[in-house]
């Protein structure tokens, strides 16, 4: 029997830079596992569902119980699939987690300071974004400010010492005192502590008028649950429609993904009405899933909150819900669409571009994206959550092998010193030029540092597409 009415949420790489300490794994009694060594359970389920299952040796060869920990065993498993070009491991995606990832993603609540920084040059750190309503936002911190000191340390460089200091300041849990240099030359010192706040992914929106031409622009930073952002998305798109916007720039430069239901909804807002009911994307699983060939582990484990086994969940998703189709939302009718992207554009944000590519021919401005066309179905094992790459997505033109990233149409380095919406921002400016807006309408271009690096601080980020079952 296959499950009916099974809701699957696809999560695609939400940046969990500051995981909530209050997000705990569900009690193990809610997720009963087959008896025996957990290493065996994880190994057999992994081999059942892994997208590249044929690369994994049998249990007698691999010997799961020979590894001294679950983590070392899992890390060994994901080394087998190799990149055909480089010969290096292809799987830079799969991981084990303690439950914090699913807890934070489902809740839509962050518990950090609410801002991220990056090295513009080897010796210049800048704020690259601030979440609305976060502690950093309440302290008045803005994108573009330079970070000049942490506590009493004023020598900040792109090196191990500074990265260690940053790691402690941002992830230590107690907050820190920062000194900034604002564009006006003022140097405020601000103490910030982590606290809970709802994640608002829309960091900025604006409508420009250039010689009567209306151009929309908005920054979307992570695909949180649709219920948490739909009202604001609808409001912004309604404003675009009422203003007569036909050219739109969507800024995804730091969007490492999130819930795919939200990415799908955004695609439906952007797509022309004529493409309604055409294929948005398809997902492909391994032969085990299609042939219903599973170990006793997967066939005996029930999905949390469901009366169906994980084997039934996989079979249902692979057969009943393999294809997702466009369903036009709103009345926005675009003639031109541009996405701003960087290496930090991951998974759901890459998929958003990829599904619109065949029918709308949007263009990318910035740097090559991360490269994440595969996803997970999160399976709990006691205190562990396993995120094993188990499906791959393809657009209507059967394009979906961008493991090395998607190359931009216009290749430009990001600039951290410009605030959102500033026409001297090289990515936004070149997107407008690419849509035919004359340069004399964009004002003077600010001189930018010739040695720009555009390196984000090394965060504790999650990149992936995760399916969560619940009333499909």
Strand partners, 363: 338
Nearest to 264 by CA among 216, 203, 326: 326
CB 120 within 8 A of CB 449: yes
What is the bridge-based pairing of β-strands 374-377 and 389-394? Answer: antiparallel
What pLDDT tens digit does each residue of the chain (472 aa) get?
444 333 333 333 333 332 222 222 222 233 444 446 899 999 999 999 999 999 999 999 999 999 999 999 999 999 999 998 889 999 999 999 876 555 545 567 888 999 999 999 999 999 999 999 999 999 999 999 999 999 999 999 999 999 999 999 998 889 999 999 999 999 999 999 999 999 999 999 999 999 999 999 999 999 888 999 999 999 999 999 999 999 999 999 999 888 888 999 999 999 999 999 999 999 999 999 999 999 999 999 999 888 899 999 999 989 888 899 999 999 999 999 999 999 999 999 999 999 999 999 999 999 999 999 998 888 999 889 899 999 999 999 999 999 999 999 999 999 999 999 999 999 999 999 999 999 999 988 766 666 666 666 655 444 444 444 443 5
How far is Cα 17 from Cα 170, in angstroms, rounded to an integer? 9
Domains, the chain, in order of start with CATH, read: 112-195 (2.30.42.10), 202-283+307-373+392-447+458-469 (3.90.226.10)
Phi then psi dihedrals of residue 227, to 5 deg: -60, -25
Nearest to 92 by CA among 349, 350, 367, 370: 370
Write down the pTM of the prediction: 0.88
């Amino acid at each position: 029997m296959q499950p009916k009415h099974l809701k699957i949420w696809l999560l695609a790489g939400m940046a969990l830079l500051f995981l909530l300490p209050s997000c705990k794994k569900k009690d193990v009694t809610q997720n009963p596992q087959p008896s025996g060594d957990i290493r065996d359970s994880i190994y057999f389920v992994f081999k059942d569902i892994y997208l590249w299952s044929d690369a994994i040796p049998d249990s007698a060869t691999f010997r799961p119980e020979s590894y001294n920990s679950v983590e070392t065993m899992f890390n060994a498993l994901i080394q087998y699939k190799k990149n055909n070009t480089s010969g290096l491991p292809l799987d830079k995606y799969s991981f084990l987690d303690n439950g914090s990832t699913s807890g934070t993603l489902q809740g839509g609540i962050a518990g950090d300071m609410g801002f991220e920084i990056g090295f513009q040059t080897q010796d210049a750190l800048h704020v690259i974004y601030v979440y609305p309503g976060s502690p950093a936002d309440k302290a008045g911190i803005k994108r573009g400010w330079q970070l000049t000191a942490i506590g009493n340390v004023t020598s900040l460089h792109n090196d191990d010492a500074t990265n260690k200091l940053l790691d402690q300041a941002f992830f230590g849990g107690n907050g820190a005192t920062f000194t900034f240099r604002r564009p006006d030359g003022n140097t405020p010192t601000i103490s910030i502590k982590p606290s809970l706040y709802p994640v608002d992914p829309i960091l900025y929106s604006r409508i420009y008028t250039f010689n009567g031409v209306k151009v929309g622009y908005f920054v979307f930073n992570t695909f949180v649950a649709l219920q948490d952002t739909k009202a604001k998305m609808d409001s912004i798109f309604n404003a675009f429609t009422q203003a007569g916007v036909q050219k739109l720039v969507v800024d995804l430069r730091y969007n490492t993904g999130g819930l795919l239901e939200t990415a799908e909804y955004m695609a439906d807002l952007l797509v022309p009405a004529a493409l309604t009911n055409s294929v948005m994307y398809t997902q492909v699983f391994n032969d085990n899933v299609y042939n219903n060939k599973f170990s006793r582990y997967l066939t005996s484990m029930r999905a949390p909150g469901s009366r169906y086994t994980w084997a039934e969940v996989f079979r249902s998703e692979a057969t009943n819900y393999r294809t997702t189709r466009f369903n036009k939302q709103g009345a926005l009718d675009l003639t031109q669409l541009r996405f701003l992207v960087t290496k930090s554009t991951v998974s759901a944000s890459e998929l958003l571009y990829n599904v619109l590519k065949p029918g709308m021919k949007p263009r990318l401005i910035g740097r090559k994206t991360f490269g994440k066309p595969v996803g997970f179905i999160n399976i709990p094992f006691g205190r562990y959550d396993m995120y094993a790459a188990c499906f791959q997505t393809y657009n209507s033109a059967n394009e979906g092998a961008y493991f090395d990233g998607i190359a931009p149409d216009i290749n430009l380095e990001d600039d951290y010193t410009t605030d959102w919406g500033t026409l001297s921002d090289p990515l936004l400016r070149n997107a407008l030029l690419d849509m035919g807006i004359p340069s004399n309408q964009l004002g003077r271009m600010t001189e930018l540092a010739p040695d720009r690096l555009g390196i984000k601080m090394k965060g504790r980020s999650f990149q992936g597409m995760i399916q969560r079952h619940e009333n499909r």
